[in-house]
Amino acid sequence: MTSNYRQHGRLQGHIGRLFCIVATDDGKYLASGGHDGTRLWDLQRMSEIPGRPAITGTRGSTTAITWASRDDDPGETLFYGTVHGHLVCWRQMGNQGFQESYCRRIAQPSEISGLQFDSLSNRLAVCNRNAVIQLYMLSSSAPPEILFSVTVTNFDPRALHFGAMRGNERELLVFGSHDGKIRTFISSVDLNNQPENWEIGGCIGDADIDSRRGTICIDDLASGVALYRLDDHHRVKLFPVPSKKEMRPRQVRFVDDSRSIVAGSDHGIIYIFDRRSGDIVQKLKLDGEDWAQTIATSDSNTMPTIFACKSGEHGSANDIIMWRKGPEGLPITTTIVGLIQLGLVLGTLGFAYQNKEILGGVVGEKLGWLKNRMS
């Protein structure tokens, strides 16, 4: 078994169960949410950002999070959803940190189960447990503008993602939990005449998409993680995930330029699969054997990173653990020590070259002294 990911640090502060963690595209910030609300983290300092979003209060637990980075806005923007149906926006205000700029309850308020931002179109998608699916257009200053809102009967949305291009727009894929159906929406098309929907034939726990390669990985509660092609809906491979307690949703993510697939479990282990072979290449262990659903990944600065935390029903401290991948077969600490040693050697050689005449004279004097002593 290859072992490349090493623990890089812990983010401490949350109490109780966590539902969602998401990093920014550049890897500078992390947002996390759960029973005790939303927290923001500076990953360069490995510390919490002061002035975090309000605690749960009447809005309830944080259940979904997405970052919305836009070219027309120099700061970061965070959207999060709550168990009581609130959609909340926090914007980065220069040196003042993050401040709340928007909050509303979406139609037929219930737990917001999915949030996703598309940077190509500046659109935000949201769904809740009452099967309400909404699409918004974002701008740098005005509140989000709603493009469409639809309620799907007999449907329990678990997650959503932006998929392939359909003309000038990207399709929105919404994943149903119990019926295993994946429904497709496009804002400019009649909602009664959408592209063909498809289903996987089992319960869906979560999903992640690789738009560049046209594939999607889906948590199939009954069997593990399944890899599908977007164009023909064909299942390419299955990655079995061991289960010790009960079938519960597992969050799944691509990482390392989609070379690997990461999945949670019901027993405190995060599984990393090789995408091509389907083999388990590493197991990351959380504290204890609690339910480990909540995960996130980041590929910023060519440094594949995995975040995970416990997801079970408990009221104790819940650290977010961060693992980072180093060069093949070497822990990151070993790599850093090696680079320091190499730097010292190169520095010594450089000093010797720049001062070769002085050093040569010193060496010559010592050799002459030794010659006189021996004669």
Torsion 278-279-284-286 (CA) sign: positive
Give the burial string for 76-89 (b: 16+ CB within 10 Å, else e).
bbbbbbbbbbbbbb
Is 194 or 163 the better-scoring residue by pLDDT? 163
216 Cβ contact list (under 8 Å, min separation 6): 161, 163, 173, 207, 208, 209, 210, 227, 228, 230
Q: What is the mean pLDDT of residues 282-302?
A: 90
Rounded CA-CA distance 237/108 in Å is: 38
Token pair of 149 as six digits = 């809102």
Fold of the domain spanning 5-330:
Methylamine Dehydrogenase; Chain H (2.130.10)
- Laid out side by side, the sheet with 145-151 consists of 112-118, 123-128, 132-137, 145-151
Alpha helices in the chain (DSSP H): 332-354, 356-374
CB 306 within 8 A of CB 270: yes
Spell out the domain ranges in the chain: 5-330, 334-374
pLDDT in tens, 111-135: 999 999 998 889 999 999 999 999 9
Lowest average pLDDT, out of 7-11, 42-46, 91-95, 122-126, goes to 91-95
Is 289 or 57 the better-scoring residue by pLDDT? 289
pLDDT score, position 362: 41
CB 187 within 8 A of CB 148: yes
pLDDT score, position 193: 57
Cα–Cα nearest to 80, from 88, 71, 72, 91 = 88
Percent of the chain at pLDDT > 90 equals 54
pLDDT score, position 365: 54
Q: CA distances (Å), 11 to each of 48, 78, 79, 309, 364, in order?
A: 8, 19, 21, 10, 58
pLDDT score, position 327: 66
pLDDT score, position 39: 93
- Residue by residue, what is the 3-state secondary structure of 269-336? EEEEEECCCCCEEEEEECCCCCCECCEEEECHHHCCEEEECCCCCCCCECCEEEEEECCCCCCHHHHH
pLDDT score, position 371: 45
CB 63 within 8 A of CB 20: yes
Token pair of 303 as six digits = 């440094």
Lowest average pLDDT, out of 62-66, 265-269, 313-317, goes to 313-317
pLDDT score, position 121: 87
pLDDT above 90 for 79: yes
pLDDT score, position 182: 94
Of the pLDDT bands very low, low, confident and very high (cuts 50, 70, 90), residue 201 is confident
Rounded CA-CA distance 92/101 in Å is: 10
pLDDT in tens, 316-374: 889 999 999 986 544 444 444 444 454 554 555 554 445 545 445 543 454 354 345 44
Q: What is the mean pLDDT of residues 6-20?
A: 93
Of the pLDDT bands very low, low, confident and very high (cuts 50, 70, 90), residue 189 is low
pLDDT score, position 354: 59
Token pair of 290 as six digits = 């609690």
pLDDT score, position 194: 62
pLDDT score, position 223: 85
Token pair of 92 as six digits = 């980065």
pLDDT in tens, 216-250: 999 998 889 999 999 899 999 999 998 877 778 89
Written as one letter, the residue type at 268 is G
Lowest average pLDDT, out of 93-97, 212-216, 235-239, goes to 93-97
pLDDT score, position 366: 41
Rounded CA-CA distance 230/317 in Å is: 40
Helix axes 332-354 and 356-374, enclosed angle (nearest 10): 80
Rounded to 5°, the CA angle 321-322-323 comes to: 125
